[in-house]
Amino acid sequence: MAYASPSSGAALYFWKQLSPSTPHRLAAGTAFGMTDTGTVRPSNEDNFLIDAGLGLVAVADGMGGHESGEIASAEALTSLAHYLRAATDPDSGALAPNFRASPFDPESTDPDAIWGEETLASMVTLHEAVEFVNQRMYQTNLAARRGDGGGMGTTLTGVWQAEPGAPLLVFHVGDSRLYLYRAGELTQLTRDHTMYQDAVDAGATENLPPRNLLLQAIGPSGDVLPELHIQAVQPGDLYLLCSDGLYGATADERIAAVLADARPGQLGDCCKELIATALHDGSRDNVTVVLFHCD
């Protein structure tokens, strides 16, 4: 999709990294994130958020032009955190948004009936949160008279642990990715919401669409169908969240080779190495990586 910059106030926005590039201690383990503008683009439209209190780790890759993409990624992440905080912590002071989500059956994310009612209730909350973020950005586009898909948008991918000891709840819209590195094997846990991926899944091998044509994102449409599933936590698991600036240039095998050396105290060095590898491999995009190592 191509998104044009909205006219209201974009020039007044200055990009700010939402979470510092330092170790963050969460209930399930340690997280570290880093983002780089890269060597080609004039600005960074990526961002990431690590909220230890919420148990939330997420990345967003904004679209819509210079300031517009910067705003979209940051607002999606902060709106998501606000909704989850208001929904789960009545003492936080966060006001619960006046919002009604579309019907959602949490049992669709638990086909083997493994998880209890608390986990499924948290999945409903997460679904509502992603829909709220989308509706909020879509309404902003409508107000700027860009509700036809020409407004700002962003990917949104991450994990949320609703309470200590609970499983990780995965959410995903767009083409940022979540990987799991476990027992020496790298597994992609999310599916790219792109025309290219649809064509590959349909068996096409020739005349494939460009890789960056999204089928859905946060903001351009009033309707969004987030990918949601439940991920059991195992000690030693290493999760990688990244924008397409990493995997678009660097093969999974090279990513896995870097992750093989990751330890809780070395996550920052691994983030640096992943970004350096992507740039060395010719990435022409912003590059964002977040590593989450489970105890």
Q: Give pLDDT tens digits for 201-250.
A: 999 999 999 988 999 999 999 999 999 999 999 999 999 999 999 999 99
Query: What CATH number should be reported for the domain holding residue 187?
Result: 3.60.40.10
Confidence of residue 200 (pLDDT cuts 50, 70, 90): very high
Structural domains in the chain (count): 1
Whole-number mean pLDDT of the chain?
91
d(CA 121, CA 104): 11
Residue 215 placed within a domain: yes
Residue 10 in domain = no
Q: Is residue 11 part of a domain?
A: no
In this predicted structure, the answer to whether residue 59 has a pLDDT above a threshold of 90 is yes
In a domain, 49, yes or no: yes
The two structure tokens encoding residue 110:
């638990």
Of 36-40, 66-70, 135-139, 194-198, the least confident: 66-70
Note whether residue 14 is domain-resident.
no
3-state per-residue secondary structure call for the chain: CCCCCCCCCHHHCCCCCCCCCCCEECCCEEEEEEEECCCCCCCCCEEEEEECCCCEEEEEEEECCHHHHHHHHHHHHHHHHHHHHHHHCCCCCCCCCCCCCCCCCHHHHCCCCCCCHHHHHHHHHHHHHHHHHHHHHHHHHHHCCCCCCCCCEECEEEEECCCCCCCEEEEEECCCEEEEEECCEEEECCCCCEHHHHHHHCCCCCCCCCCCCECCCECCCCCCCCEEEEECCCCCCEEEEECHHHHCCCCHHHHHHHHCCCCHHHHHHHHHHHHHHHHHCCCCCCEEEEEEEEC
- 1 falls within a domain: no
Q: Is residue 97 part of a domain?
A: no
How would residue 65 be classed by pLDDT, with cut points 50, 70 and 90?
Answer: low
- 8 falls within a domain: no
Range of the domain at 242: 24-92+103-294
Is residue 189's pLDDT more than 60?
yes
